[in-house]
């Protein structure tokens, strides 16, 4: 079962929320999602859905860690909008109702 929790501190370092992948690398891999993460009215590109789906399958905690990282705010991403991307993509293993920091996965 996938678990979403407050992972801000766990995200830094090997074996953290993103495994051996540095959080900045994980965040960069989600670049196709930038427009959709800033504006809820923007259609989520298929490339974004593919990246998010793969991340949720391989390192489900990583997405939450990325959303809570300073990288997200510095990129102008609205975490409250970004947390909706898995639902907007129709991803079933998104753990609806689980907390990710101050947000709840829809």
List of domains in the chain: 23-104 (1.10.110)
How much is the pLDDT for 96?
A: 87
Q: Whole-model pTM?
A: 0.82
Written as six digits, the tokens of 51 are: 């990246």
How much is the pLDDT for 94?
A: 87
Instruction: Encode the chain (106 residues) as per-residue pLDDT tens digits.
Output: 333 333 333 334 445 899 889 999 999 999 999 999 999 999 999 999 999 999 999 998 999 999 999 989 899 999 999 999 999 999 998 888 899 999 999 9
How much is the pLDDT for 93?
A: 86
Strand pairing of 99-100 and 103-104? antiparallel
How much is the pLDDT for 40?
A: 96
Quote the CA–CA distance of 12 and 103 in Å, as a whole number.
20
Helix (H, G, I), strand (E, B) or coil at 64: helix
Angle, helices 60-68 vs 46-58, to 10°: value is 110
Name the nearest CA neighbour of 89 among 45, 34, 26. Answer: 45
Quote the CA–CA distance of 2 and 26 in Å, as a whole number.
18
How much is the pLDDT for 11?
A: 37
């Amino acid at each position: 079962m996938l678990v979403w929790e407050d992972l801000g501190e766990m995200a830094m370092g090997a074996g953290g929320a993103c495994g051996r992948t540095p959080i900045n690398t994980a965040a960069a891999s989600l670049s196709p999602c930038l427009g959709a993460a800033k504006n809820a009215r923007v259609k989520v590109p298929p490339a974004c859905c593919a990246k998010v789906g793969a991340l949720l399958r391989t390192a489900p905690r990583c997405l939450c860690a990325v959303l809570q990282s300073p990288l997200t705010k510095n990129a102008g991403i609205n975490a409250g909008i970004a947390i909706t991307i898995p639902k907007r993509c129709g991803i079933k293993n998104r753990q609806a109702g689980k907390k990710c920091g101050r947000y709840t996965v829809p």
